[in-house]
Amino acid sequence: MALYSEKVMDHFRNPRNVGVIENANGIGEVGNAKCGDIMKMYLLIEDDIVKDVKFETFGCGSAIASSSMATEMIKGKPLSEVRELTNKAVAEALDGLPDYKMHCSVLAEEAIKNALEDYEKRKAEKKLS
Ligand code: FES
Task: Please give the Cα distance from 91 to 102 (Å, whole number).
Answer: 7
pLDDT value, residue 127: 84
Q: Is there a catalytic annotation at residue 60?
A: no
**Distances in Å between the alpha carbon of 41 and those of 22, 38, 84, 128?**
12, 10, 16, 26
Q: Is any ligand 1 atom within 6 A of the Cβ of residue 107?
A: yes
Plot region of 36 (φ>0 → left; ψ -120 to 50 → alpha; else → beta)? left
Q: For residue 29, how many C-alpha atoms fall within 13 Å in the half-sphere facing its CB?
A: 6
- Tell me what the mean pLDDT of segment 18-43 comes to: 97
CB 115 within 8 A of CB 28: yes
Of 108, 110, 113, 74, give the one whose Cα is nearest residue 91. 108
Task: Look at residue 74 and tell me whether its pLDDT is greater than 80.
Answer: yes
pLDDT band at 126 (very low <50, low <70, confident <90, very high): confident
Locate the ligand 1 atom nearest the alpha carbon of residue 60 and give its number: 2
* Of 104, 107, 112, 115, catalytic: 104
Of 32, 20, 47, 3, give the one whose Cα is nearest residue 108. 32
Q: Is any ligand 1 atom within 6 A of the Cβ of residue 59?
A: yes
Instruction: Show the DSSP H helices in 19-101 as ranges.
Output: 61-74, 79-82, 87-93
Locate the ligand 1 atom nearest the alpha carbon of residue 101 and give its number: 2
Distance from residue 58's CA to the centre of ligand 1 (Å): 9
- Tell me what the mean pLDDT of segment 108-119 comes to: 98
Of 83, 128, 109, 97, give the one whose Cα is nearest residue 12. 97
CB 30 within 8 A of CB 107: yes
pLDDT value, residue 1: 57
- Tell me what the mean pLDDT of segment 45-74 comes to: 98
* Of 13, 20, 35, 81, catalytic: 35
Distance from residue 11's CA to the centre of ligand 1 (Å): 15
Percentage of the chain with pLDDT > 70? 98
